[in-house]
Amino acid sequence: MRILLTNDDGVNARGLKILESVARTLSDDIWIVAPAEEQSGAGHSLTLTQPVRLRRHGERRFSVTGTPTDAVMLALAHVMKDAPPDVILSGINRGANLAEDVTYSGTVSAAMEGALAGVPSIALSQAYSREGLGDTVPFAAAEAWAVKALAPLLEFPMAPRTLVNVNFPALPPEEVGGIRVCRQGLRDYGRLRIVERTDPRGYDYYWFGLGPMVETPGHSTDLEAIADGFVSVTPLHLDLTHEQSLENLDKKFAAAP
């Protein structure tokens, strides 16, 4: 099995090193094509107004001066064009990618790009608490549970243009409750917190804080799975069409004069 690894934290990120160790327990045919620098929050952006440079760091190891999407595109259309991957693993991100995070996340977007190209793709992220910041973020749960989450997924026939988003809770491995397959959650955007402060030169600046999650019956979302101490596994699809609105709009325009 040929596995392509990428991320949005950069080619030298600790989470990518951990993902490589995990991937090497599954295959010895591992390729890395990742952004040269951190691209957190880049979403599914593509570099169009400046050149993208590719740098080789060793056998099957490359960095890209661009976004996670750029990295996957270059990997599939150039670096690995004669030997495409069987699967793409993106991560392990420093910080969870839950609920609407997936629309901002470079980690998830790299997997989206793989799915668009027809390659089974999985995004992996490690949640952390306030006690673990920067380089001190503990990846122990991801290290211990990644293979348990990946093994069934690698045998699962993914539908076209779908991907899977995996998140690990901020807990010691022995305290993780298991793996929960769940739907994408939703935070209360109306209660988004904006913290306003003033810098030493007298200019205002802002920090964005996330709103509380919306509770669901049976704790059925990724937000709640992580809060309950489980690994969350969420299948996502790239067709954003809302079927009911499509039908209703069709009726509306058909009835219009």
CA gap 8, 69 in Å, rounded: 9
β-bridge partners, 90: 6, 123
Contacts by residues 205-208 (CB-CB < 8 Å, ≥ 24 positions apart)? none
Determine if residue 239 is labeled as part of a ligand binding site: no
Determine if residue 9 is labeled as part of a ligand binding site: yes
Angle between the N-to-C axes of helices 140-154 and 14-23, in degrees from 0 to 180, rounded to the nearest 10: 40
Cα-flanking dihedrals φ and ψ of residue 20, to 5°?
-60, -45
pLDDT of residue 190: 67
The per-residue DSSP string of 25-38 comes to TT-SEEEEEEESS-
pLDDT of residue 62: 98
Query: Apex CA 32: angle with CA 123 and CA 38, to 5°?
Result: 65
115 to 118, 160, 235, 249: CA distances (angstroms):
5, 7, 12, 29
pLDDT of residue 248: 94
Question: Which residue type occupies 241?
Answer: T
Query: Apex CA 136: angle with CA 204 and CA 34, to 5°?
Result: 85
Give tens-digit pLDDT for 215-239: 777 789 999 999 999 999 999 999 9
Q: Is the peptide bond before 122 cis (omega within 30 degrees of 0)?
A: no
Average pLDDT estimate for 64-80: 97
Determine if residue 8 is labeled as part of a ligand binding site: yes
Spell out the CATH class of 2-186+215-255.
Answer: alpha beta
For the chain, the structural domain boundaries read 2-186+215-255
- Prediction pTM value: 0.91
pLDDT of residue 77: 97
101: CB partners within 8 A, 6+ apart: 108
Question: Which residue type occupies 48?
Answer: L
Give tens-digit pLDDT for 154-181: 999 999 999 999 999 999 999 999 999 9
pLDDT of residue 135: 61
Average pLDDT estimate for 210-216: 72
CA gap 17, 112 in Å, rounded: 21
Which of 147, 153, 144 minimizes the C-alpha distance to 176? 144
Give tens-digit pLDDT for 87-142: 999 999 999 999 999 999 999 999 999 999 999 999 999 999 865 555 678 999 99
The sheet carrying 179-181 orders its strands as: 54-58, 61-64, 29-35, 2-6, 87-94, 121-126, 162-168, 231-237, 179-181
